[in-house]
Amino acid sequence: MMAEIVSMGPYEVLAWPDQLGSLGVARHRLTQEQFAIKTNCIHSLVHEANTLHAVSGGVGIPELHWFGTVDERDVMVTDLYGPCLEEIFCQSGRYFSMQMLLQLAEPLLSRVEFLHSRNIIHGNLNPWSFAVGNMQWQNQQVLLVDFNTKIVPEATIHDDLYAVGQILAYFYRGRESWEQYQEKVGGYDQETAPVIVEYFQEVSSCKDKNPDYRNLKQIFHTALQDLAFHLAIALELKGPRAITKGLPPRIDVFPTMTTESLFEALNLKLSRSGRQIERPTAAIQTYEWLLLLETFDDIMKIYTIILLRDRPLFVQKEPALRAYQLPNRLWRDLHWFLKRINSGTDDISSIFRRTFNERAYKFIAALYDIYPSYRPYWAEYLLTLARERKEAVLMDEKRVWMQNVLYWQAQLNREKT
C-alpha cells in the first residue's frame, strides 16, 4: 500500500494524494522544504515528467525534483504551489474584476509562450492548469502546473492561444462550469468583453504565421492602462491604492514596518548571516544551514515589500527611487549571499547550496513577473544565475540550462531595445 511507504529518495512522505487530481506533500529530510507529490491513477506520468524536465528553469514553471516508481505507480516530486485559478475563482464568488482579468492575461500568455519556445504544445489548457505560487514572495505569481499535454498531431500553437482566451472569457462570464461553458460556446466567445474579442480576432488573423506574443500581450496591457488611467481620475487613486501592472504579493510579516525599519531589519539579517558564513561552509552545522535558509527567505520578503512600495505606477512617470538603485542593491545582497556559501564541497553544503541557488532563481523569476518595470535588471540577473546553474548541475540537466542561458540572453537583448 502506498500509504504505508513513508520515504522515497531524499524525501519523507507527509501525505499521499487522497483523491484523483489532488496533491500529496513530501519533505526533504535535510533542508526541511516541503514539496508536492503527484501520482498516476490511470495514465503514466513519464510524458508529464519529461515535459516538466524540458521546461525546467522557465518563469512560473514548477521544478521537477524527483521521479520514480513506488508500489507500481509513477510518482513525481515537484515544487509545492498554491490554489489553482479555478479554486480562487470559486472562493471569490465566481467573480474576477476586469482589473484582475487584464492582469492575469500576460502571465497566462507568458507561460504558453515559454512552452512554445521549447517546441511544446500543451493542447489541454483549462482553469486548473494554472495556480499561484506557494512562497509568500511568490503567492501572486501565476504558475503553469499541469503538464499533462496532449500528444495530438493536429494540435497547434494557436490552439493554446485560443485556450488562453477561452479561460479569460470563462472567468468573465462566471456563471457556468467550465464544462458547460465549453459545450455552450464551442469556438471563441463573441459575447465576452471587447478586449477579449479583440484578442480572439488577433489570434485568428495570425493562424497562418507565427504569433506575435508581444502584440497579444499589448492588447491587454493597453486595456489595463486605460482602466488604470480612468479609475485614477474618477476615484483619485494614488499611492498603494493605484492600479499597477502585475499582481502584488501578499506577505504576512513585515508589512506594518516603515521602509526605514525594513532597511534596518535587512541590514541586521545580512550582518548576522555574514558572521555565520564567514567560516568554511563544511564547519556549518545543519541547524545553522536551516537558520540561514530562513534568514534568506526573510531577506526576499523584505525586498518584495520594499519593491512594492517603490513600484512604478501607470500614472507616474518616475518611480520613487531611481530605476537602478533598488534592483542593484537587491542583486548585490543576494549574490553576495550565494557567493559566500558556494565554497563548500561536502555533501551537506552541496545540498544546501543547490537549495539557495534554486530559491534565488525562483525569487528573481517571480520579480520578473510581478515588477515588470525592472525587467532589464531581472533578465540580467537571471542570465547570471542560469549560467552559474549550468555549471553546477548534472550532465543530464546541462542541455536544459544551456537553453535557459540562451533564452535569458535573448530576453535581455530584447528588454534593452
Instruction: Tell me which DSSP letter residue 13 carries.
Output: E
In angstroms and rounded to an integer, the radius of gyration of the C-alpha atoms of the chain is: 22
Question: Do 99 and 232 share a domain, yes or no?
Answer: yes
State the average pLDDT for the chain.
87
The last residue of one of the domains, among 15, 46, 79, is: 79
Angle at the Cα of 73 from the Cα atoms of 69 and 128, rounded to 5 degrees: 110
- Report the domain count for the chain: 3
Gap between the Cα atoms of 180 and 134, Å rounded = 30
pLDDT at 231: 60
Residue 407 to residues 24, 81, 210, 398, 411, Cα–Cα distance (Å): 32, 24, 18, 14, 6
Residue 26, domain member (yes or no):
yes
All three cell numbers of 382: 537571471
Starting at the edge strand found earlier in the chain, the sheet holding 73-79 runs: 7-8, 11-15, 24-28, 34-39, 73-79, 64-70
Asked if the model's pLDDT at residue 313 lies above 60, the reply is no
pLDDT at 93: 93
User: Which parts of 156-253 are beta strand (E)?
Assistant: none
Query: Which residue did the predictor score with more confidence, 338 or 344?
Result: 338
Asked if the model's pLDDT at residue 248 lies above 50, the reply is yes
In one-letter notation, the amino acid at residue 329 is R
The last residue of one of the domains, among 29, 52, 79, is: 79
Q: What is the CATH number of the domain that holds 61?
A: 3.30.200.20
Domain of 298 in residue numbering reads as 259-416
pLDDT at 389: 94
pLDDT at 189: 75
* Closest to 116 in 3D by CA, of 21, 32, 51, 165: 51
Confidence of residue 149 (pLDDT cuts 50, 70, 90): confident
Query: Which residue did the predictor score with more confidence, 310 or 37?
Result: 37
All three cell numbers of 345: 564541497
Question: Do 360 and 331 share a domain, yes or no?
Answer: yes
- List, in sequence order, every residue forming a beta bridge with 81; answer none if it has no partner: 133
Backbone angles phi, psi at 139, to 5 degrees: -75, 0
All three cell numbers of 123: 493542447
Q: Classify residue 308 as exposed, middle or buried by CB count within 10 Å of its CB (0-12, 13-18, 19+).
A: middle
pLDDT at 226: 87
Gap between the Cα atoms of 28 and 35, Å rounded = 8
Question: Do 214 and 328 share a domain, yes or no?
Answer: no
The last residue of one of the domains, among 206, 241, 276, is: 241
What is the percentage of the chain residues whose pLDDT exceeds 90? 64
Say if residues 178 and 129 touch (Cβ distance below 8 Å): no
Question: Do 75 and 214 share a domain, yes or no?
Answer: no
Highest mean pLDDT among 249-253, 323-327, 375-379: 375-379
**Candidate from 6-15, 96-105, 272-281, 342-351 with smallest mean pLDDT:** 342-351
* Closest to 171 in 3D by CA, of 245, 103, 81: 103
Q: pTM of this prediction?
A: 0.90
Question: Do 149 and 41 share a domain, yes or no?
Answer: no
- The C-alpha cell 535573448 sits at 410
Tell me the pairing of strands 81-84 and 73-79. Answer: unpaired
**Candidate from 120-129, 232-241, 289-298 with smallest mean pLDDT:** 232-241
* Closest to 281 in 3D by CA, of 354, 357, 356, 346: 346
Longest CA–CA separation in the chain, Å: 65
Residue 300, domain member (yes or no):
yes
Written as one string, the DSSP assignment of 46-70 is HHHHHHHHHTTT-TT-PPEEEEEEE
Residue 251, domain member (yes or no):
no
All three cell numbers of 222: 493597453
Residue 250, domain member (yes or no):
no
Gap between the Cα atoms of 410 and 362, Å rounded = 19
Q: CB-based contacts of 194: which residues, under 8 Å, 6+ apart?
A: none
Residue 295, domain member (yes or no):
yes
Task: Please list the helix, strand and coil fractions of the chain in percent, rounded to the nearest 5, in that order.
Answer: 55, 10, 35
Residue 33, domain member (yes or no):
yes
Asked if the model's pLDDT at residue 379 lies above 90, the reply is yes
Q: Residue range 310-315: average pLDDT? A: 54
Residue 364, domain member (yes or no):
yes
